[in-house]
Amino acid sequence: MTDPGQGVFAISVAADLASMQIQNLRVYERRGLVSPARTPGGSRLYSRDDVERLRRIGALLEEGLNLAGIARVLVLEDEIGALRERDARRAG
């Protein structure tokens, strides 16, 4: 099994997995919401983590958030995740 953070999916596959249009993935990358890996030739490679993040973006869009709001929510969720990991290491 591969690392969930390793880029393995082409943009068309990632778009299908996230039920999104390819052009939206490009917009989300330009806005800093997702950062896929790149091949030496410059093609995007999305990881399973990226696809989950894209699904989260889709869910937040459905809730009515704009991209600026989504960016803030994602930053806060990432910070909460990091704090939980730190607390788990201290407790364990």
Per-residue pLDDT at 2:
73
Buried (b) or exposed (e) across 61-70, using 16+ Cβ within 10 A?
eeeeeeeeeb
CA distance to 54, 76, 89, per residue, from 20 (Å):
8, 23, 36
CB contact at 8 A, 31 and 67? yes
pTM above 0.75, yes or no: yes
Per-residue pLDDT at 88:
93
Per residue in 41-89, pLDDT (tens digit) is 999 999 999 999 999 999 999 999 999 999 999 999 999 999 999 999 9
Domains of the chain: 11-91 (1.10.1660.10)
Per-residue pLDDT at 33:
97
The rounded Cα 53 to chain-centroid distance in angstroms is 3
Kind and range of the H or E run holding 60 = helix 48-62
42 torsion bin: left (phi>0), alpha (psi -120 to 50), beta (else)? left
